[in-house]
């Protein structure tokens, strides 16, 4: 008989905030495979890649808010670092990290 996997009790992690090389983006279009087009808070549309550790674990669809790590050698591209849930997005809007107008603009582009 196979052994059962035990889930260790995980304490809730803190919501990652944008830093020096990261920016919050909204997914505009799914290009297929592991690539997306995302509209970022700094006004740039980036081609974003979903890394292998997230590929079959986190499902990202159009309209989702994600945290993107911008590539040093190509600032128009990046990697997805984190996908924010709806409740986390609401908290970020309350803290004025994400403007309400940005969420409205993302929903219009879809």
pLDDT in tens, 53-65: 998 899 999 999 9
Report which DSSP code applies to 58. Answer: S
Rg (CA), the chain: 15
pLDDT at 41 over 90: yes
pTM of the model: 0.85
Alpha-carbon torsion 70, 76, 77, 82, what sign?
positive
Domain 22-109 matching CATH 2.40.50.140: the answer reads yes
Alpha-helix runs per DSSP H in the chain: 86-94, 100-109
How far apart are the C-alpha atoms of 106 and 93, rounded to whole Å? 14
């Amino acid at each position: 008989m196979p052994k059962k996997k035990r889930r260790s009790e995980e304490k809730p992690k803190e919501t990652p905030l944008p830093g020096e090389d990261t920016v919050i983006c909204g997914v505009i279009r799914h290009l297929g495979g592991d690539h997306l087009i995302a509209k970022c808070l700094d006004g740039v549309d980036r081609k974003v890649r979903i890394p292998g550790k997230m590929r079959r674990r986190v499902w990202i669809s159009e309209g989702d808010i994600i945290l993107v790590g911008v590539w040093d050698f190509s600032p128009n591209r990046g990697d997805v670092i984190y996908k924010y849930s709806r409740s986390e997005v609401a908290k970020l809007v309350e803290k004025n990290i994400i403007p309400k107008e940005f969420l409205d603009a993302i929903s219009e582009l879809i």
